[in-house]
Amino acid sequence: MQKNSKRNNNSRVSGIELNSVDAEKEKKESQNNFVELLPPEVTFKIFSQLDIQSLCRASVTCRSWNNTVRNSDSLWKPHCLTLRAVCQREIDDDLESGYSWRVILLRNYQKSKVKHEWLSGRYSNICSPLSLPEKIMYPMDVDTWGEILEAELER
């Protein structure tokens, strides 16, 4: 009985020590985190200079960066508008459906890359389905394939 009581006291003490160590660690990380130190406008300006890949990497750096990047729709909008040159209908449909700019980008980024390749004629001389690069293909809807077919027929 006494052993059990002693074990519980030890676990409580070590739990308290761990909590204080964690709190100290978080405090130290917070002091090194410009997102928490700078005004939101400055943080936004810094993140707005990043390309899509860097923005995604920044969002997995830490919790506060993730919250800032994920919840700042205006960081994603310029990237979506760039994609809109290739996927105008898709972007407009997603906007009408009420998706955030970040979600629109996630939904259309890979599609825009593949669609751009098709529309630019990269796959015009493909002789068989086996010649297609399987890893970069992306499922697309009927309207998108219609656009690609029209572009091929015009060539």
Residue 26, pLDDT score: 59
Q: What is the mean pLDDT of residues 78-84?
A: 91
Q: To the nearest whole percent, how much of the chain has pLDDT over 90?
A: 22
Residue 67: partners with Cβ closer than 8 Å, 6 or more residues away? none
70 contacts 102 by C-beta, under 8 angstroms: yes
| 12-32 pLDDT tens trace | 555 555 566 565 655 555 556
Residue 56: alpha-carbon gap to chain centroid: 4
**Mean pLDDT of the 102-106 span:** 91
Give the dihedral sign, CA 81/87/93/99: negative
pLDDT in tens, 28-44: 555 567 778 888 888 88
Measure the CA–CA gap between 106 and 90, rounded to whole angstroms: 12
Can you give the pTM of this predicted structure? 0.63
Q: Quick one: pLDDT band at residue 78, thresholds 50, 70, 90?
A: very high
Q: C-alpha 99: how far from its chain's center?
A: 14
140 phi, psi to nearest 5 deg: -130, 155
Q: Strand, coil or helix: what is 61?
A: coil
**pLDDT tens-digit series, residues 105-151:** 988 988 898 888 888 888 888 777 777 777 677 788 888 888 888 88
